[in-house]
Structure 1
Amino acid sequence: MKPWLCAFVLLQACSMAPKYERLDAPVPSNYSTPATPVALKGDGPRTNDDDLKNWKQHFTDPGMQRFIDAVLENNKELKIAALRVEELRALYRIQRSEQLPSLGANGSLTRGKQFDYFAGAPVTSSIYDARVQLMAFELDFFGRVKSLSDAALNRYLGTEVAHRSVLISLVAQAASAYIAEISLGQQEKLALETLASREDTLKIDNSRFNKGISNALELKTSEMLVGTSRASVAEVRRQREINRNNLRILAGRFDFTPEESTLLVDTIRFPDLQSGVPSELLARRPDILSAEFALKAENANIGAARAAFFPSISLTSHIGSTSTDLDDLFKGSTETWSFIPTINIPIFYGGRNIANLDAANVRKNVAVLQYEQAIQNAFREVRDALVGHQLIDEQVAAQKSVRDADAERARLAKSRYDRGVAGYLEYLDAQRSQFDSDLTYLKLHELRLSNDIALYRALGGGWDGTQGH
């Protein structure tokens, strides 16, 4: 290769952007810290990547899978994120094209009439012109165009992983909404069974009152409990309809009807997940990767701002043919060409270049803080989910004991009341406590499952972090 061509290639490869080095993660080395009293069981080797990147291996219920598939196919938010990726890809291609020469071809006919002083009369003439031209190609000696192209590339890659972040969130939201539908269905069934039982009790109490066996206080207490049960049924149905509207929005169709499921929230179990170490989140969480790409883009913009202080050289050239007769066009005597190198030397711009560089440095510092903030938020989300996973299990176990004890207490209270040993208020209080215990037990199981879904999302589950780069 000729020496001048080698120099040209080397100069084109120059960049004045600072060398990018990944920052240290501003979080502890593990999720269990001396400052926190809960010793977490999630620390240690992380779950196999295959269990995280394919959500169908984690959410195995066919009904839930069909619903999540419908969400991913029709959800408007996901479609907007995908279109945003296409937009940034096109913008990157536009910016990248500036690193290559732009060639164009054009032809023209100029016909006019003007006075010929030599002939002493007006003359009508035609000029035919055809040319291929190089249009203002900048020789990127100081890396300005390359830095702008690198910035556009990183913005595009950041948008691509942001699209995956939307996908992960949608999978988690869909799974949570599906679990809520199952839980609310069980709560509605419990409320209806309680209402039916209390209505039966009210009929008995009304008969006893009419016969003079019981007093008005017992009757009004029974009526109050029936009214309370009806209010509970209405409240659960309201919550269920709101959740179904959420299901429809996620699925992108208001005519969507959720499938009837035979699952029970107290029997559903998701595969256990191990969190690994916090540093693994840097390669797994798309929101962290997106923040890092934004930081790389701002780092490249500094290179473009620095290059503005140095001269820029651009080339404009053309080769073609000009003739007064179309038949003579492209003959040897009609050849035309030009070669116009232009150098632009910044001398005085009123401090604009310095201000641009200062702004680029500030934007990079902001991007650094946003990147660190994304890491810390991810750490907090994982740790919150790990704490919840451990302590909610303890709550569920404790509430199961409460529920079993309340069921036995209600049975004993009814037996005592039937034998005339216990008062009516004791019997009603045992019934009310049993309903509250059963309802709390169902809600805790829903909370347990929602927390496990949050842990799956916090660990970056639902996408393959090795794809696309």
Structure 2
Amino acid sequence: MNMTKSFLSLLLGTAMLAGCNLAPKYERPGGAVPATLPQGGIYPTAPTDAVDVSRIGWRDFFLDQRLQQVIETGLANNRDLRIAAGNVLQARAQYRVQRADLLPTVSANGTATYTNNIFGAGQAAGGGVGANPGASSSQDIEIYQASVGLSAFELDLFGRVRNLSRAAQEQYFATEEAQRSARISLIAEIANAWLTMASDQEQLRLSRETLGAFEETLRLTREQFRVGIGSELEVRQAETNYQGALSDIAALETTIARDQNALNLLAGTTVPQEQLPTGLGAQPASRDALPSGISSEVLLRRPDVLQAEHQLIAENANIGAARAAFFPTISLTATLGTLSTALSGLFKDGTYNYNVAPSGALPLFDFGRRKGNLDYAKASQQVAVATYERAIQTAFREVADALAQRGRIGDQIRAQSTRAEAARVAARLSDARFRAGIDSFLTTLDAQRTAYAAEQQLVTTRLTQAGNLVELYRSLGGGLEERTTVTPSPQ
């Protein structure tokens, strides 16, 4: 029992010594971006009831139920997201392996040894006087041993093992944030792909409607040419518009098929027909109550920024491990067991024994290997600092770009809507004046082309507005929550 207490006291004492950490103190880099996001001028004014976008669940942000269903399917089936989840599992397993080095590996062993000694002529087993000089003999020896102990356990006096464990832990956290970032990006990509398909469906509807108008104009010019009141030039010009609309329809049908293929890839499966968009529609597909004029501190919570910070902390810990390599490595091998010549007496009093064998090693000449490892760790830490700052700057630019577009997209929509309406009226009036013989056919033809182009541009601008809301939602870190009690108020 006393030996057991001594053994445990030794382990406790060595554990208490392990308190030194040579890693540099971590301080989050600052000053890479301004304290607040851009505001004033082209940028929109912040609402008084601005909410934290990252707390708005994607089911509450996206309003169209079909789009919600496609996003849900993508989150369950997208292969890139599964790869990200697998990377998290790998990093967690690697962290567990590295963390295990902080504690000794305790193993139990049992051995039985059977030995037979043969004594030659003139050598008695006891070697005593009076032994028969002409005889030989043998003796069986049995030894039973059971022990429990640890082998070559490194006493982490200078924090090498703890820093390696911390680095593995931070890499694990980084992969978790990478998975969260992949989730946000996937939601945004699905939404943009769905909206793009909706826009192309709208363009196809517009082209088919315009084709009908162009076909009627072509029929009229052909009839006028047949009766001698029109020219072949007018027929050819009308046919140019008609064939251009036919070409647009064929191209859009191909584009829509490719849109669906892209959406299927993001969803990880074939999206059912009833979940596909038929057009942009009158109702918006997402909410429009996103804040602006907020502190740039919100960017520090973005998963990609957190991923870069965890990697920076990991490199900080690697410096501590590299520094600890300049100090002696002390390891301990210890066993506590019992030894007996009879199996029945293996655990009786007086058979216990222990063995403690500490050892230390310090390389004297390694030709700069440890110095090179330390320099590499320091350089990696500098790279990680720059990577972290670049991640923040990239996030700042993405949000600033989205805010800049948001500040004027409403003006674009209003101007383009007015332009499209004016072009439609102009085309209708020009057609009436042509039929009445007041204007030339060239004026009517130009008015029709202008109206068609204005309608197409309006659809494109509406897609830009919808995509801007998705990008602002993504760049501010939204999309991690499924549901939330926070309901943004409309502006």
Is the structural similarity TM-score above 0.5?
yes
Selected match of 1:176 from 192, 214, 218: 192
Cα deviation per residue 1:253-281 (whole Å; 9 max; x = unaligned)?
14644525466355415222113544323
* Match status 1:89 vs 2:92: yes
CA contact (8 A) 2:114 2:142 kept: yes
In the TM superposition, what is the alpha-carbon distance from 1:227 to its structure 2 partner? 1.2
| Shift in CA distance, 43/357, structure 1 to aligned 2, threshold 3 Å | farther
Distance 1:419 1:109 in 2: 117
* Match status 1:201 vs 2:217: yes
CA RMSD of aligned residues (A): 2.7
Selected match of 1:284 from 301, 319, 331: 301
CA contact (8 A) 1:107 1:130 kept: yes
Look up the equivalent residue of 2:253 and give its one-letter code.
R
Structure 2 equivalent of residue 31 of structure 1: 37
Distance 2:173 2:372 in 1: 28
Structure 2 equivalent of residue 60 of structure 1: 63
Look up the equivalent residue of 2:209 and give its one-letter code.
E
Structure 2 equivalent of residue 160 of structure 1: 176
Cα deviation per residue 1:429-453 (whole Å; 9 max; x = unaligned)?
1111111100100010001111111
Look up the equivalent residue of 1:132 and give its one-letter code.
V
In the TM superposition, what is the alpha-carbon distance from 1:211 to its structure 2 partner? 2.4
Structure 2 equivalent of residue 20 of structure 1: 26
| Shift in CA distance, 239/333, structure 1 to aligned 2, threshold 3 Å | same
Distance 1:116 1:398 in 2: 114
Look up the equivalent residue of 2:218 and give its one-letter code.
L
Structure 1 equivalent of residue 52 of structure 2: 49
Number of equivalences: 461
Distance 2:28 2:274 in 1: 45
Structure 1 equivalent of residue 107 of structure 2: 104
| Shift in CA distance, 126/38, structure 1 to aligned 2, threshold 3 Å | farther
Residue aligned with 1:321, SS: strand
| Shift in CA distance, 149/127, structure 1 to aligned 2, threshold 3 Å | same
CA contact (8 A) 1:148 1:300 kept: yes
CA contact (8 A) 1:44 1:277 kept: no
Residue aligned with 2:275, SS: coil
* Match status 1:310 vs 2:327: yes
Distance 1:314 1:26 in 2: 44
Distance 1:285 1:309 in 2: 38
In the TM superposition, what is the alpha-carbon distance from 1:177 to its structure 2 partner? 1.3
| Shift in CA distance, 44/108, structure 1 to aligned 2, threshold 3 Å | farther
Specify every segment of 5 or more residues in structure 2 that has no aligned partner in the other structure, as ranges: 1-7, 126-135, 483-491
| Shift in CA distance, 191/108, structure 1 to aligned 2, threshold 3 Å | farther
Alignment of 1:204-283 (within 5 A): 204-254=220-270, 256-257=272-273, 259-261=275-277, 264-265=280-281, 267-268=283-284, 270-283=287-300
Q: What is the TM-score when the length of structure 2 is the normalising length?
A: 0.87
Alignment of 1:399-410 (within 5 A): 399-410=416-427
Larger Rg: 2
Cα deviation per residue 1:161-188 (whole Å; 9 max; x = unaligned)?
1110001101111111111121111111
CA contact (8 A) 2:319 2:377 kept: yes
Distance 2:346 2:264 in 1: 68
| Shift in CA distance, 121/46, structure 1 to aligned 2, threshold 3 Å | farther
Look up the equivalent residue of 2:360 and give its one-letter code.
I
* Match status 1:131 vs 2:147: yes
Identity of aligned pairs, percent?
Answer: 39
CA contact (8 A) 2:78 2:268 kept: yes
| Shift in CA distance, 47/287, structure 1 to aligned 2, threshold 3 Å | farther
CA contact (8 A) 2:81 2:183 kept: yes
Cα deviation per residue 1:324-346 (whole Å; 9 max; x = unaligned)?
55444434455443111111123
Distance 1:157 1:419 in 2: 75
Cα deviation per residue 1:314-370 (whole Å; 9 max; x = unaligned)?
111112234555444434455443111111123222111111110000000000000
